[in-house]
């Protein structure tokens, strides 16, 4: 299952940032483009939109536990994935 997850992450290319700490993986969706002249956030269109959607759907369909707080956490038997958005971190 981990191998399939890592393959899906790779297909997302620059649309996700990926880090690992022990058995926990952190994915940040790269949705931030910049700011308008009025200071409003602008969101970027994903280069690999289908791959990003497939990754999110796979996480939802295959996890054994889902925790939805500020960040979404997907629990699997051997690993955990926490997802967030770059626009949240600005």
Which pair of structure tokens corresponds to residue 83? Answer: 């997802």
Domains of the chain: which residue ranges?
2-88
* Spatial separation of the C-alpha atoms in residues 4 and 21, rounded to whole Å: 19
What is the Cα Rg of the chain in Å?
A: 14
Structure tokens at 20: 């690992």
Is 0.85 surpassed by the pTM of this model? no
Distance CA 78, CA 84 (A): 21
pLDDT, one tens digit per residue, over 67-79 is 998 889 999 999 9
Closest CA to 83 of 75, 70, 72, 67: 72
Q: What confidence score (pLDDT) does residue 12 get?
A: 95
């Amino acid at each position: 299952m981990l191998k399939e997850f890592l393959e899906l992450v790779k297909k997302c290319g620059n649309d996700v940032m990926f880090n690992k700490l022990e058995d926990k993986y952190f994915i940040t969706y790269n949705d931030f483009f910049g700011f308008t002249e009025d200071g409003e956030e602008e969101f970027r269109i994903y280069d690999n939109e289908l791959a990003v959607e497939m990754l999110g759907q796979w996480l939802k369909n295959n996890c054994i536990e889902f925790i939805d707080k500020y960040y979404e956490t997907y629990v699997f038997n051997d690993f955990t994935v926490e997802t967030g958005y770059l626009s949240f971190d600005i």
